[in-house]
């Protein structure tokens, strides 16, 4: 368990899967994810067994409210490249249909995850891809020190339109230089 002031990160358990699946299947959330389809119970269980439990290149956490132990969302590092020392960030808050909340749960979860990734896993970079209409994540990640690395033009089709996506990253040296790290 990784503990902060408002939240803690812990293992995703079987009892978390149905709530996470329901959150992920909301159309307002699903548009932000690479997996655009609705997720069945079988697909969720397969993801859990193959990625969360079975893939050493994926480290996922449940985000829980420290005061109530209530499940808030999940976060983690995917596609970890141990040789080049980077991982792809995954994050959302499902609690109260927040996606990225205004109470700071997502921000603190990121801080805990980045400290873990840079200090414990010895990663050099955390990166992510977000779609141009994902203003909440774009603002959050920049507040945490991320830089724009690139633009993938017309990368994602949603709502009858092709959208660009941004590649963002945070280096360990930049994280260490920030007072929030």
Digits of tens for pLDDT over the chain (181 positions)? 899 999 999 999 999 999 998 988 888 888 888 877 888 999 899 999 989 899 999 999 999 999 999 999 999 999 999 999 999 999 989 888 888 888 889 999 999 999 999 999 999 999 999 999 999 999 999 999 999 999 999 999 998 999 999 999 999 999 988 755 4
Q: Which residues pair with residue 60 across a beta bridge?
A: 76
Residue 155 to residues 2, 113, 142, 160, 164, Cα–Cα distance (Å): 35, 27, 21, 13, 5
Q: Is 119 helix (H, G, I), strand (E, B) or coil?
A: helix
Tokens of 49: 């067994």
Question: β-strands 59-65, 125-131: how paired?
Answer: unpaired
Q: Which residue has the tokens 């997502």?
A: 106
Question: How many Å apart are CA 157 and CA 170, to the nearest integer?
Answer: 26
Question: What DSSP designation does 112 have?
Answer: H
């Amino acid at each position: 368990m990784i503990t902060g002031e408002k939240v803690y990160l812990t293992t995703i358990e079987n009892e978390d899967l149905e709530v996470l699946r329901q959150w992920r299947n909301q159309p307002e959330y699903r548009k932000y994810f690479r997996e655009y389809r609705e997720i069945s119970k079988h697909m969720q269980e397969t993801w859990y067994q193959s990625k969360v439990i079975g893939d050493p290149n994926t480290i996922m956490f449940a985000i829980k409210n420290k005061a109530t132990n209530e499940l808030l969302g999940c976060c983690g590092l995917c596609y970890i490249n141990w040789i080049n020392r980077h991982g792809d960030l995954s994050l959302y808050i499902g609690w109260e249909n927040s996606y990225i909340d205004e109470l700071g749960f997502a921000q603190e979860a990121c801080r805990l995850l980045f400290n873990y990734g840079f200090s414990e896993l010895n990663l050099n970079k955390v990166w992510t891809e977000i779609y141009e209409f994902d203003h909440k994540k774009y603002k959050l990640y920049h507040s945490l020190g991320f830089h724009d690395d690139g633009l993938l033009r017309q990368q994602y089709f949603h709502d009858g339109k092709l959208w660009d996506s941004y590649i963002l990253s945070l280096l360990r040296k930049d994280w260490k230089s920030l007072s929030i790290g």
